[in-house]
Amino acid sequence: MDSAAAGPASETSPPETSPPQTSPPQTSHPEPPPPETPRHPETQRPAETQRSTSAPPEPSEAPPLLKITGVSKTFPGTVALDHVDLEVAPGEIHALVGQNGSGKSTLIKVLAGYHHADPGARAWLNGEPVDLAAPANLSRHHRLRFVHQDLGLFLELGAVDNLALRSEFMVGPLRQIRWKAQAEATRELLARFGLDLDLHRPLAEATPVQRTVVAIAAALVGWQHQGQGQDAPGLLVLDEPTAVLPPHDVARLQELIKNIRDQGTGILYVSHRLDEVFALADRVTVLRGGRVVTTRAVEGLDVQALAELMVGADVDAGYRAVLKPDNERPVVLRARDLRGHFLQGVDIELREGEVLGVAGLPGSGRDELPYALAGSLAGAVGQIELVGQGWLPVRKSASFDIAIVPADRAREAVISEFSVAENLTISVLDRFRRFGWLRRRPERQLTAQWMDAISVKAAGSDALITTLSGGNQQKVMMARCLARDPRVLVLCEPTAGVDVGTRQAIYEFIADRARAGLSLVVSSSDTGDLLAICTRVLVMCNGRVVRELAGRKITEQALLHAMEETEQQV
């Protein structure tokens, strides 16, 4: 296809077109990325670039690449960021850690210009002031690049297109794309990252680590010329790049990131995995509740100390439902050897009135398990038994009395064109049937009952569901499932996007239901959820249950520890 597209025009073009943009003079270096000195960006001359040593630069020596002070971000009802200060030096890997809801992603979004900071925020990139309260402009983009957690790639397209779409296609005199040159440039660029990949195959077919590398390469497009002119190094923001990578790929990616760092690029590295912070970062900033707890060198810290910094003393004072684990009660649900994309053989036993938590990092199988139990995970295998109803293959468990509140409320739960009432009753419509007709009165009554029982704040049951706040929408979604009167309720991320007050109401509500005999499985990336309501927590890692905590043993520290693979390897 590319030969046809390039066609005769490309054969006439070579004399007058410039060489491929992605081949700077140093390409003969056998090492991956050509090195540059990070120390003195202003005075740096391109010709005499030296490989920097692996030692991190002293922050005092170079002006900070990025400096922000007093960054706040207020959403209606919540303060997501509260006067955050941060400095990243050139050639530094700066880790940004914190629990869910600590403000990490909000901070990244403010930097990226997706959110605008509250007035009063000040920021400098390479000493030049940046207005964080305004939309990101080109020069901000030029100095500050992002690899978001979902990578932002076009999976239907190959690496060539993905990289070219980030910068510009190389065109001949007739504005036709010079596919061969484009592919060559892409190959060269990716080779520097040690990536060997079929450039034209859709990225959907590539492995996760290959995609991550392509995303990083795409983010760095245009920075290869760094040091050749007046360009100073830029800042690369990596948001959980290793979240879904298997361990051996993580190591490879870390090497690559260090290489980029050694070129003088500053890296702001957001991660859940504390061991990575120690493997990679020079300094670390800990966020908690939208505030910076500390910024300090990683040296001298250990995992335990860092976890305590993240968690803080105040967090354990959160709501506790104090449900007692009771091993005498009958088993309601059993599952054997569940497998999926991430699940590698998980057994589950759930008792009546139990609230079973599922913890784990992204990619551990934690987010897959609930869907597998509810029979809505494509490709899941394994056996499941709802006691009294016999064993079934797990993909058929939708016929069991198991309701699920999905993780992504907007995409998988809320029917945004429907009213509150229609959303609430959608799974129990059969109850209002008489001679095939849907009777409105019992439907209205049931809706009113539930809206009252879980105190949904809405203009009325006929209001569109999208006019409700996130917390109230979540309550309606829970009511939708509970109205079915299921034997087992599976909750995914029960408090995602839910404000603090509603959060507690949801916890109390779940606890009430459990006391009434309902069995629940709660999967959450927010350890606060698990601490608040669970009687037992399964900690998952690499698709398996690696630890089971019960009763008083469920603590923030124990959960965080168990989620880190490091501990398991000891």
Please state, in angstroms and rounded to a whole number, the distance separating the CA atoms of residues 144 and 306: 27
- How far is residue 549 from each of residues 181, 311, 534, measured CA to CA in Å? 57, 18, 10
Q: How far is the CB of 262 from other proteins (least distance, A)?
A: 28
Residue closer to other proteins (CB basis): 87 or 368: 368
Q: How far is the CB of 494 from other proteins (least distance, A)?
A: 13
Instruction: Extract the tokens encoding 46.
Output: 């391109």
Q: How far is the CB of 428 from other proteins (least distance, A)?
A: 9
Question: 292 CB contacts (<8 Å, ≥6 apart)?
Answer: 84, 85, 86, 285, 286
Residue closer to other proteins (CB basis): 76 or 388: 76
CA neighbor of 516 nearest in space, from 447, 448, 453? 453
Q: How far is the CB of 325 from other proteins (least distance, A)?
A: 29
Spacing of C-alpha 428 from chain mean position: 34
Q: What are the strands of the beta sheet with 66-75, ordered from one edge?
A: 78-88, 66-75, 122-125, 128-130
Please state, in angstroms and rounded to a whole number, the distance separating the CA atoms of residues 240 and 95: 10
Residue closer to other proteins (CB basis): 156 or 337: 156
Q: How far is the CB of 58 from other proteins (least distance, A)?
A: 34
Residue closer to other proteins (CB basis): 49 or 502: 502
Please state, in angstroms and rounded to a whole number, the distance separating the CA atoms of residues 241 and 245: 8
Q: How many CA atoms lie within 13 A of 251 on its CB side?
A: 2
Residue closer to other proteins (CB basis): 334 or 484: 484
Residue closer to other proteins (CB basis): 146 or 179: 146
Q: How far is the CB of 24 from other proteins (least distance, A)?
A: 29
Q: How many CA atoms lie within 13 A of 252 on its CB side?
A: 13
Q: Are 63 and 83 in contact (CB under 8 A)?
A: no
Q: How far is the CB of 331 from other proteins (least distance, A)?
A: 23
Q: How far is the CB of 438 from other proteins (least distance, A)?
A: 5
The length of the chain is 570
Question: 166 CB contacts (<8 Å, ≥6 apart)?
Answer: 218, 219, 221
Q: How far is the CB of 138 from other proteins (least distance, A)?
A: 18
Backbone angle region of 266, left / alpha / beta, with phi > 0 → left and psi within -120 to 50 → alpha = beta
Residue closer to other proteins (CB basis): 52 or 419: 419
Residue closer to other proteins (CB basis): 157 or 171: 157
Q: How far is the CB of 499 from other proteins (least distance, A)?
A: 5
Residue closer to other proteins (CB basis): 66 or 414: 414
Cα angle 370, 375, 376 (rounded to 5 degrees) comes to 80
Residue closer to other proteins (CB basis): 124 or 418: 418
Please state, in angstroms and rounded to a whole number, the distance separating the CA atoms of residues 145 and 239: 11
